[in-house]
């Protein structure tokens, strides 16, 4: 029974798929006869056709045998195009050529070729070199997977530690840790809405869209250094007290600067910007720098609106929770003075979505 199971597994295992590219039909036929008993074979008679097939089949191509001298588009140009695409760049390519030239070989290797096989073909050499490249590629994929898993595991641990630190600040501030969750989810949704409507700042790359919502977690981390009698005062702060409270942006940035050695540099960059500048205002009347309009980092402009929205709807030591209508009225009044008008418009147009998020993570 055990042997039968092993045999069945062997039958189920898919064959490696090899793409043979040569403008000479006889060369393709020779390679097919050598390899078809062990591999799935697809043929292309030109570089253009090869690129089209590789892009269409994507991960299904395990290796490409590519003729060097072809009309219209030679092997070098074909390889350059394959390596330029994220879809095909990791497919190993072996050049096949009758031109036994060290110059050609060096040029091909610099472009990313895995190996060279000379014509006329020696079946044992062809099979052995293909097998070695497939094993090497499989090993590289496995190692890349292990490295990515380790990096992802490290990031998950760092995320949990940062969330815990931020939650401690929220509890010390007599606020629920749900403030962190709400602002992160609302910022994520706001970025998606801006992107889908074509209004997201073009400087915000896909990686930024991932890290900005994570970064808002630490926006108030500096409050850990603010005295309790100010942080939890159940009344309006005096001028002197407010000046001390405003320092939480600078203190928080100093704390975040100590994270610069961790493997999350985009995260640290946005966390620093959000922490330092989320109390800046579009008209320049905010703090700590009095920045105006686009001088304020985009991540901080997003957080400025979301933080105010959440604070208005929530009960604080110094105030009761405001109604949704009053909150929306204040947000509208802040358009173009407190808040970036483009971000504010997108937020107001979708206020029902954001209120649903607020309720789902209610204290």
Is 153 a member of any domain? no
CATH number for the domain including 123? 3.40.50.2300
Is 157 a member of any domain? no
Nearest C-alpha neighbor of 184 from the set 205, 197, 169, 166: 166
**Predicted confidence (pLDDT) at residue 8 exceeds the cutoff of 70:** no
pLDDT (mean) for 320-326: 93
Do both 92 and 183 map to the same domain? no
pLDDT (mean) for 138-164: 70
Do both 124 and 14 map to the same domain? yes
Q: Range of 61's domain?
A: 2-144
pLDDT of residue 77: 93
CATH number for the domain including 261? 1.10.3210.10
Do both 189 and 230 map to the same domain? yes
Q: Tell me how many domains the chain contains.
A: 2
This prediction has a pTM of 0.59
pLDDT in tens, 241-271: 999 999 999 999 998 888 665 555 778 889 9
Scan for tokens 């630490």, then name that residue: 218
Do both 139 and 185 map to the same domain? no
pLDDT (mean) for 36-45: 92
Query: How far is it, in rounded angstroms, from Cα 321 to Cα 194?
Result: 28
Do both 215 and 112 map to the same domain? no
Do both 289 and 349 map to the same domain? yes
Confidence of residue 218 (pLDDT cuts 50, 70, 90): confident
């Amino acid at each position: 029974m055990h042997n039968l199971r092993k045999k069945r597994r062997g039958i189920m295992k898919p064959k490696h798929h090899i793409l043979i590219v040569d403008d000479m039909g006889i060369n393709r036929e020779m390679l097919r006869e050598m390899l078809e008993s062990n591999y799935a074979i697809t043929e292309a008679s030109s570089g253009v056709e090869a690129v089209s097939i590789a892009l269409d089949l994507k991960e299904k191509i395990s290796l490409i045998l590519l003729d060097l001298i072809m009309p219209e588009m030679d092997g070098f140009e074909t390889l350059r195009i394959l390596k330029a695409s994220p879809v095909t760049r990791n497919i190993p390519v072996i050049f096949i050529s009758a031109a036994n030239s060290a110059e050609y070989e060096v040029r091909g290797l610099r472009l990313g070729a895995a190996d060279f096989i000379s014509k006329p073909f020696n079946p044992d050499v062809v099979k052995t070199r293909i097998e070695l490249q497939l094993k090497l590629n499989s090993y590289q994929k496995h190692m890349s997977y292990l490295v990515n898993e380790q990096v992802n595991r490290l990031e998950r641990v760092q995320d949990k530690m940062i969330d815990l630190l931020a939650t401690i600040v929220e509890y010390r501030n007599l606020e629920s840790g749900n403030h962190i969750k709400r602002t992160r989810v609302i910022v994520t949704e706001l970025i998606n809405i801006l992107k889908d409507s074509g209004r997201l700042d073009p400087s915000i790359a896909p990686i930024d869209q991932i890290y900005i919502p994570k970064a808002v977690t630490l926006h108030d981390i500096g409050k850990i250094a603010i005295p309790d009698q100010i942080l939890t005062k159940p009344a309006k702060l005096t001028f002197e007290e407010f000046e001390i409270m405003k320092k939480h942006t600078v203190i928080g940035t100093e704390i975040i600067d100590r994270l610069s050695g961790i493997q999350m540099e985009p995260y640290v960059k946005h966390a620093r910007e959000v922490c330092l500048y989320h109390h800046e205002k579009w008209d320049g009347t905010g703090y700590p720098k009095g920045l105006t309009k686009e001088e304020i980092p985009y991540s901080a402009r997003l957080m400025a609106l979301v933080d105010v929205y959440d604070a208005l709807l929530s009960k604080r030591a110094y105030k009761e929770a405001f109604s949704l209508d009053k909150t929306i009225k204040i947000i509208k009044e802040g358009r173009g003075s407190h808040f970036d008008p483009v971000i504010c418009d997108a937020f107001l147009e979708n206020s029902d979505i954001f209120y649903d998020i607020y309720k789902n993570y209610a204290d």
